[in-house]
Structure 1
Amino acid sequence: MATMDPRADIREFLSSRRARITPAQAGLTAYGGNRRVKGLRREEVALLAGVSVDYYVRLERGGLAGASDGVLEALASALQLDEAERRHLFHLARRSGTPRRRRTTATVRSTLQQVLDAISDAPAWIGNGRYDVLATNQLARALYSPVLADPRQPANTARFVYLDPDAAREFFIDYDHVADAVATKLRMEAGRNPHDEELISLVGELSTRSEPFRRRWASQDVRLHRSGRKRVNHPIVGRLDLDVEPLELAAEPSLHLNVYTAPAGTPTADNLALLASWAASNH
């Protein structure tokens, strides 16, 4: 895969969302017992969205460029899209014009590194939508040591998960959940930045070398970055059940700050303190 085709992405996304909804789920009466399509027909989506069949066919064939917000909202409602899917639809529409190959930053400002270094009791790191690990504090370097062991820089969590699956399964207790999240968030990023050369290269590499990634990528599923729980099996201190908060950086919209914490008095908090002591002694 040398390029991404926004029109093909639109076609596959809309058709996959249409295929998962039955007429009954959409509140429609299904006439005839021998439907040849899975899910809704195009004319049924057009009816639900309040547009002509010809116009919807043009949209599904990749012609989202120029579609109004009202049409996109009606389409999202007709296809029962969740928040992540709705945002993805808008990204696809707004980025489906003339391709502009671009590179995105792989560095962070020195002041952001100062912010990271000031966070001493919690692992914290800055990444982008491609899962590049761009900057870390000392505790994050200790926590993510298996990921950061990759000689390629910047280290990339997606490559670790899919191209070193044995190590990733040993590190991430909920490996399948993590693998799903990586693929769906990369798909979301591809809708946001379809002409990002580094992203195109990453998706191409993962698609070529990992069948599980190809399968998940083909699902067209998308997901937002949300707070949650991440469970890891650290090679030094053992199991850590961490609360994760991804924070968007207003001055750097392509980057996010991830902070991992644990409630005081829990085994994970004790193990984090042990990890901090180990990291300081090996600094």
Structure 2
Amino acid sequence: MDNRDEVREFLMSRRAKLTPDQAGIAASGTRRVAGLRRSEVAMLADVSIEYYSKIERGHLAGVSDGVLEAVARALRLDDAEREHLFDLARVAHGGVEPVRRRKPKQWVARESLLRALEAITAGPAFVRNGRMDVLATNALGRAFYDQVFDGPGEGNLARFQFLDERSRDFYPDWPPAADVTVAILRTEAGRDPRDKQLHDLVGELSTRSDEFRTRWGAHNVRRHGSGTKHFRHHLVGDLTLTYEGLELTAEPGLSFLIYTAEPGSVSEERLNLLASWTAADAHGRGERAQASATTDLTKKPTEGPTHG
């Protein structure tokens, strides 16, 4: 992904979304678009039109933090958009390493992290990276996301969202859920533009999904810290869950997410039902494995050749 193209398209998309009324500017003359003109952004940021035009063409190298802050204020960027602009500027300044270092491709969860996940029993809990790969889950998380792992999703939430038709049932509010997924990937692309696996994923989804390609071109970014989501699980039905996302201090770039249901709600009952089925299934597998082992031990050994 060329950094200058990313900067240009991002700033142009933010400028196009901001109307003169929203920016507190009296509209004048014939306007071909609803958004702001470059000259208006330059005025709001207190820089020359020539300088802002250079910035919007993608030339962020040498641009001070103060100017970036002024541009962010002029365009009314939210916290996620502002961080994205500064990530793009860091790359333009020659920052070769992402702010949050990536882990090796073959990431292995620490035993203590796995124990922490399994200690959470009231809701699905999982660890994912910025590419939306689900790297580790608790037992309820595996049951909750079973379709993510057994189809074209291959354990990746973005692939599941756009390449698996079952996601249309799993996410009753599919369009806004798809918006969030792409915004998370776009944020990660600004933070870590050298991530080849992310490039490959974006290329794959852009080729195979018109829905993804359209959203990717919108250049929307967002934080994914907390909120409420609606799901329709194929085993237990509709669920309304709140989530909390935590950055793993010991694993920069990875997020620890926990879903919970409101106490006493139908969603809590359904989560408990899914958890009980999961526990029963795990117990059944354990009993079958124990029975198999016992049978093997009680079999009469096959007599071998007699040695004299």
TM-score scaled by length of structure 1 = 0.91
Q: Counterpart of 2:261?
A: 262
Q: 1:35 aligns with which of 24, 31, 38?
A: 31
C-alpha distance in 1 between matches for 2:27 and 2:123: 55
Q: Cα gap change, 1:24/1:138 in structure 2, threshold over 3 Å: closer, same or farther?
A: closer
Q: Counterpart of 2:235?
A: 236
C-alpha distance in 1 between matches for 2:95 and 2:83: 20
- Secondary structure of 1:65's match? coil
CA shift, 1:23, in A, is: 3.2
CA shift, 1:36, in A, is: 4.6
Q: Counterpart of 1:62?
A: 58
Q: Counterpart of 1:124?
A: 125
- Secondary structure of 1:84's match? helix
CA shift, 1:20, in A, is: 2.4
Q: Counterpart of 1:17?
A: 14
- Equivalent residues in 2 for 1:70-89, closer than 5 Å: 70-89=66-85
- Equivalent residues in 2 for 1:142-181, closer than 5 Å: 142-150=143-151, 153=154, 155-164=155-164, 166-181=165-180
Q: Counterpart of 1:109?
A: 110
C-alpha distance in 2 between matches for 1:262 and 1:79: 37
C-alpha distance in 2 between matches for 1:37 and 1:174: 30
Structure number with the bigger relative contact order (C-alpha 8 A, sep ≥ 6) is 1
Counterpart contact for 2:103–2:251, Cα < 8 Å? no
One-letter code aligned to 1:25: Q
One-letter code aligned to 1:266: S
Structure 2 unaligned residues grouped into runs of 5+ = 283-308
Q: Structure 1, residues 235-260: CA drift from partner, whole Å, max 9, x if none?
A: 22222211111111122220011101
Structure 1 unaligned residues grouped into runs of 5+ = none
Counterpart contact for 1:99–1:195, Cα < 8 Å? no
- Secondary structure of 2:220's match? coil
Q: Cα gap change, 1:275/1:23 in structure 2, threshold over 3 Å: closer, same or farther?
A: closer
CA shift, 1:270, in A, is: 1.3
Q: Counterpart of 2:141?
A: 140
C-alpha distance in 1 between matches for 2:27 and 2:117: 57
TM-score scaled by length of structure 2 = 0.84
- Secondary structure of 2:229's match? strand
Percent identity between matched residues is 53
Q: How many positions carry a matched residue from both structures?
A: 277
Q: Cα gap change, 1:38/1:233 in structure 2, threshold over 3 Å: closer, same or farther?
A: closer
One-letter code aligned to 2:36: L
C-alpha distance in 1 between matches for 2:97 and 2:90: 15
One-letter code aligned to 2:24: G
> Structure 1 stretches (4+) deviating beyond 6 angstroms?
none
